[in-house]
């Protein structure tokens, strides 16, 4: 198979390096690399990892905040057909021990700040034999990283820049394949993290631009990306506010560097700095992950919109988490000329649909109503497609380019990924209905549905209504055991600064938007809602908080 016919990320990146070597490929904070500069450093790191014993198919962790080095590590591993494993930088020792062991890491590329956490668990991981440390200017100690492993031979530790300095910049690598694996570890909204295994060709079509999100046209060959550049396609500067340790950050960055565009990231999310980055880099699209980023961005824009030149921005796009209509409206009020785009999907399916938001649009009873993407459907329990306009609730499914399954979890894989009548499906458990016009309304994840008085309540729908209240900054809705109702709808609310909320206020607010049984019967006010770094809700935390205070 020739390079021109392989949907392989490293091959496609190299083709773009040859086409636009002087174009800026990636910007993170004050650091930036052209395609040629990025290629040279990626090649050096790839050769270093090969020399350290990393083989095709083996797993290497990347444990850092967003940085140029994160991107270089990702591409270097793709070059040598190894598998990058994203490590959540909020994990503590117990979670790291689980992830490193579950993922079978043979090496880890770690930011110096997190080195002591790795040192605390590394003696229990005899297969992890090589550590590359990204210098962040801090003084965190490296003691314990090179402790001897139980099987003998020791462990090697090297600084990131030293690793590059001692390796070749040449593009000399073995032939790659569309079957090369990319794993995204996802914790979702519940449970321990799971590694979703994708063939690179499949994830390219499902998440990285292989299928046009607006037309559902499918790319025929990877060389079409280069041809677009030769035909004069305007390069896009995409600012991804999500962390690279989250799938949304990874796929957005990969999509940029295989398409000849510029990926802009920030080390850590900060709303004010995000707008300054848009102005400084003249970015065209701002990609966020739901309300956790959207709300502070919208609030800070009120103060900054007259100070900064944001004229380059034509779209704000959200994926991977709820994007409430009230916040979309706020963006459109503040920036009338931009598009606000809602895209929905999951690590287990890829993109399920997309929609350009309309001002003050009413939902169909869910957090998002979207035009389905190619191969996305809604099925009943017998895997029959749900009839449009029937009000029947089914589950979102995807066929075509879907993951292989969960790493080292055949039981869960069999539940989510399976074949029926010669067709492979991914059905991760997101409930939805199909509107009369064929659009899909997402209702919520089945694992967090609240059963109250015999009725099903989807937390995301209630959260969207509550967030439209002027005193509410953020909210999570959970079910708490109740002797009368089975479960009672309970809201954990973070009010806006200087505001207060009561159950009565919210009940009145909800009455015109949702049925009375969906409105929260109990509310707890907190200083801050706990969410993951990508903005995903921590429902186990909210449920535990509600239980504890309800019992108190």
| pLDDT tens readout for residues 263-317 | 999 999 999 999 999 999 999 999 998 888 898 999 999 999 999 999 999 999 9
pLDDT digit string (tens) for 100-109?
A: 999 999 999 9
| Residue 442 scores a pLDDT above 90 | no
**Given pLDDT bands bounded at 50, 70 and 90, which one contains residue 151?**
very low
Query: What is the SS3 assignment for 418-462?
Result: EEECCEEEECCCEEEEECCCCCEEEEEEHHHCEEECCEEECHHHH
Contact 318, 289 (CB under 8 A): yes
**Given pLDDT bands bounded at 50, 70 and 90, which one contains residue 191?**
low
Task: Express as a percent the part of the chain with pLDDT over 70.
Answer: 95
| Average pLDDT of the segment spanning 71-88 | 97
> What are the structure tokens assigned to 323, written together?
């994007």
| Average pLDDT of the segment spanning 407-416 | 94
Q: What is the mean pLDDT of the chain?
A: 90
Contact 201, 9 (CB under 8 A): no
> What are the structure tokens assigned to 432, written together?
């939805």
- Give 148 or 145, the one with higher predicted confidence: 145
Contact 426, 404 (CB under 8 A): no
What's the confidence (pLDDT) of residue 514? Answer: 83
- If 0-12 CB within 10 Å is exposed, 13-18 middle and 19+ buried, where does residue 383 land? middle
**Given pLDDT bands bounded at 50, 70 and 90, which one contains residue 192?**
confident
- Give 207 or 444, the one with higher predicted confidence: 207
- Give 243 or 446, the one with higher predicted confidence: 243
User: How many Å apart are CA 106 and CA 127, to the nearest integer?
Assistant: 5
> What are the structure tokens assigned to 44, written together?
């050096």
Instruction: Give 381's DSSP letter.
Output: T
What's the confidence (pLDDT) of residue 4? Answer: 60
User: How many Å apart are CA 121 and CA 265, to the nearest integer?
Assistant: 30
Alpha-carbon distances of 346 from 324, 349, 376, 532, rounded to whole Å = 18, 5, 12, 16
**Given pLDDT bands bounded at 50, 70 and 90, which one contains residue 359?**
confident
What's the confidence (pLDDT) of residue 551? Answer: 61
188 Cβ neighbours under 8 A, 6+ residues apart: 194, 347, 445, 536
Give the count of beta carbons closer than 10 Å to the beta carbon of residue 255: 20
What's the confidence (pLDDT) of residue 138? Answer: 93
What's the confidence (pLDDT) of residue 534? Answer: 66
| Average pLDDT of the segment spanning 186-211 | 86
**Given pLDDT bands bounded at 50, 70 and 90, which one contains residue 444?**
confident
**Given pLDDT bands bounded at 50, 70 and 90, which one contains residue 189?**
very low
Helix or strand holding residue 11 (H, E)? helix 9-19
What's the confidence (pLDDT) of residue 153? Answer: 58
Instruction: Give the residue carrying structure tokens 């995409």.
Output: 238
Min mean pLDDT across 13-17, 316-320, 413-417, 452-456 is at 452-456
User: How many Å apart are CA 536 and CA 323, to the nearest integer?
Assistant: 11
| Residue 152 scores a pLDDT above 80 | no
Instruction: With H, G, I as helix, E, B as strand and everything else as coil, classify residue 133.
Output: strand
Domain ranges for the chain, please list them: 3-10+35-186, 449-551
User: How many Å apart are CA 356 and CA 141, to the nearest integer?
Assistant: 48
User: How many Å apart are CA 450 and CA 520, to the nearest integer?
Assistant: 11
Task: Express as a percent the part of the chain with pLDDT over 90.
Answer: 65
Min mean pLDDT across 49-53, 296-300, 482-486 is at 482-486
Instruction: Give the residue carrying structure tokens 């490590």.
Output: 87
| Average pLDDT of the segment spanning 51-57 | 97
Helix crossing, 291-304 with 271-281: angle to 10°?
A: 70
User: How many Å apart are CA 10 and CA 25, to the nearest integer?
Assistant: 14
Contact 434, 387 (CB under 8 A): yes
| Residue 198 scores a pLDDT above 70 | yes
Which CATH architecture group holds 449-551?
A: 2-Layer Sandwich (3.30)
> What are the structure tokens assigned to 523, written together?
């509310």
Helix or strand holding residue 192 (H, E)? none
| Residue 150 scores a pLDDT above 50 | no
Give the count of beta carbons closer than 10 Å to the beta carbon of residue 73: 27
| Residue 424 scores a pLDDT above 70 | yes
**Out of 2.40.50.140, 3.10.350.10, 3.30.300.30, 3.40.50.12780, which CATH number does the structure's domain 3-10+35-186 have?**
3.40.50.12780
């Amino acid at each position: 198979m020739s390079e021109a016919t392989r949907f392989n990320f490293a091959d496609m990146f190299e083709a773009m390096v040859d086409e636009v070597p002087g174009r800026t490929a990636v910007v993170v904070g004050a650091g930036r690399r052209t395609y040629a500069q990025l290629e040279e450093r990626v090649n050096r790191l790839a050769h270093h990892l090969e020399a350290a014993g990393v083989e095709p198919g083996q797993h290497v962790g990347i444990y850092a905040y967003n940085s140029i080095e994160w991107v270089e590590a990702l591409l270097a591993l793709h070059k040598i057909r190894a598998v990058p494993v994203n490590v959540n930088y909020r994990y503590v020792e117990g979670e790291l021990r689980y992830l490193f062991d579950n993922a079978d890491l043979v090496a880890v590329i770690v930011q110096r700040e997190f080195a002591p956490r790795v040192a605390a668990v590394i003696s229990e991981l005899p297969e992890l034999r090589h550590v590359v440390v990204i210098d962040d200017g801090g003084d965190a100690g490296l003691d314990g990283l090179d402790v001897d492993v139980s099987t003998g031979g020791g462990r090697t530790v090297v600084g990131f820049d030293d690793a590059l300095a001692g390796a070749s910049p040449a593009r000399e690598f073995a032939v790659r394949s569309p079957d090369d694996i990319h794993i995204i570890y996802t914790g979702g909204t519940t449970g321990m993290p799971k590694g979703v295994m994708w063939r690179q060709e499949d994830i390219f079509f499902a998440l990285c631009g292989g299928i046009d999100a607006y037309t559902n046209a499918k790319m025929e060959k990877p060389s079409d990306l280069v041809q677009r550049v030769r035909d004069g396609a305007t390069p896009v500067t995409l600012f991804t506010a999500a962390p690279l340790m989250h799938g949304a950050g990874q796929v957005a960055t990969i999509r940029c560097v295989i398409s000849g565009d510029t990926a802009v990231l920030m080390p850590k999310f900060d709303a004010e700095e995000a707008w300054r980055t848009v102005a400084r880099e003249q970015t065209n699209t701002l990609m966020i992950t739901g309300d956790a980023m959207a709300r502070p961005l919208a609030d800070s824009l009120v103060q900054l919109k007259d100070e900064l030149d944001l004229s380059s921005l034509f779209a704000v796009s959200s994926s991977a988490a709820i994007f409430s209509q009230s916040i979309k409206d706020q963006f459109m009020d503040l920036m009338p000329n931009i598009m606000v785009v809602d895209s929905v999907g999951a690590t287990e399916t890829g993109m399920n649909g997309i929609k350009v938001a309309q001002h003050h649009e009413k939902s169909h009873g869910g957090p998002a109503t979207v035009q389905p993407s190619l191969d996305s459907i809604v099925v009943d329990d017998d895997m029959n497609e749900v009839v449009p306009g029937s009000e029947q609730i089914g589950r979102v499914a995807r066929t075509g380019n879907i993951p292989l399954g969960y790493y080292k979890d055949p039981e869960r894989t069999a539940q989510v990924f399976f074949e029926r009548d010669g067709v492979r499906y991914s059905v991760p458990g997101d409930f939805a209905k199909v509107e009369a016009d064929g659009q899909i309304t997402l209702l919520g994840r089945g694992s967090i549905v609240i059963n109250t008085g015999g009725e099903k309540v989807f937390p995301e729908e209630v959260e969207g209504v509550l967030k439209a209240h002027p005193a509410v900054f953020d909210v999570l809705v959970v079910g708490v055991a109740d002797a009368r109702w089975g479960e009672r709808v309970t809201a954990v609310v973070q009010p806006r600064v200087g505001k207060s909320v009561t159950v009565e206020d919210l009940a009145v607010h909800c009455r015109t938007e949702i049925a009375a049984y969906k409105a929260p019967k109990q509310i707890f006010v907190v200083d801050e809602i706990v969410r993951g770094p990508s903005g995903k809700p921590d429902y186990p935390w909210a449920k535990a908080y509600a239980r504890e205070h309800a019992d108190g």
